[in-house]
Structure 1
Amino acid sequence: MPIREPARRCWACPRGRRATGTSTLSFWYQPHTADDTCNTTTCQYDWMEAQVRTTSGTTLASLFKLCNNNGTWTQLTADLSAYKGQTVTLWFNVHLDGSTPADDTWMYLDDVTLTQSTKKNVLSSI
């Protein structure tokens, strides 16, 4: 199912002895749009983005912000070790400017995982 509005998932990053390694987030996304393409700060109308946030909504890190129509599955990995011992929200969003006629923008997500390098086990996935 395509993402057309914010999707969130909270994760508790490991702490204590289990937090000695690296916590790595990994996911695949596939972008689609009928709007103008952009990257990061050049995005004005429609865009897709992923962020790491506090549970109250403060942005801790921007993982990507773009708008393109390549339709290619792209893997993104990010080191979340800086947030060990915290509960963070992974926030995926598609922003639409509401133009008429519609110039739809959407993305697909797959295989969202958070792994701990010392144990190589999946802590959680959606």
Structure 2
Amino acid sequence: MPEEPPEAFVPDDYAAFLAARLHPLKAIAVRYAKLLMGTGQLYPINTAKLEKYRKIGELLTMCDDVLLAGTGVAVIDILRQMDAVNTAIAVGERVDPDYIAEMIYLDIQLMSDGHTSIKYEPLEFIQITKRYRRHYESIRHLI
């Protein structure tokens, strides 16, 4: 019998704080989708520079709040779509730019803005994030 998926461990208030840090990714995703749709062509994008957002998305999937967890899934999918474009370009595969743009727009609509009054000091935020990332990495194989 397969192992049970791990329980949520990221507190919702911290998840909301993380979600509020996704505004730059949202802006990048909107511009990228507009470019694809406006030109009808695929363009490579350096997703390595966006990796911090993927890590935020992974942590968001581990909270109880459905909107925030859904935001995490949307973030991961936006980056997966961008990775798929990069792969398609690299191997010469034909992919419909409008489809990719529509998927990205759909994911953007699913993203929560993460409104919260909770504030973290920078060092505290880094320490908490490292602790949650270590735990996430230790259970990744169960997800």
Q: What is the TM-score when the length of structure 1 is the normalising length?
A: 0.31
* Higher share in helix: 2
Q: What is the TM-score when the length of structure 2 is the normalising length?
A: 0.29
Q: Which has the higher contact order (CA 8 A, sep 6+)?
A: 1
* Higher share in strand: 1
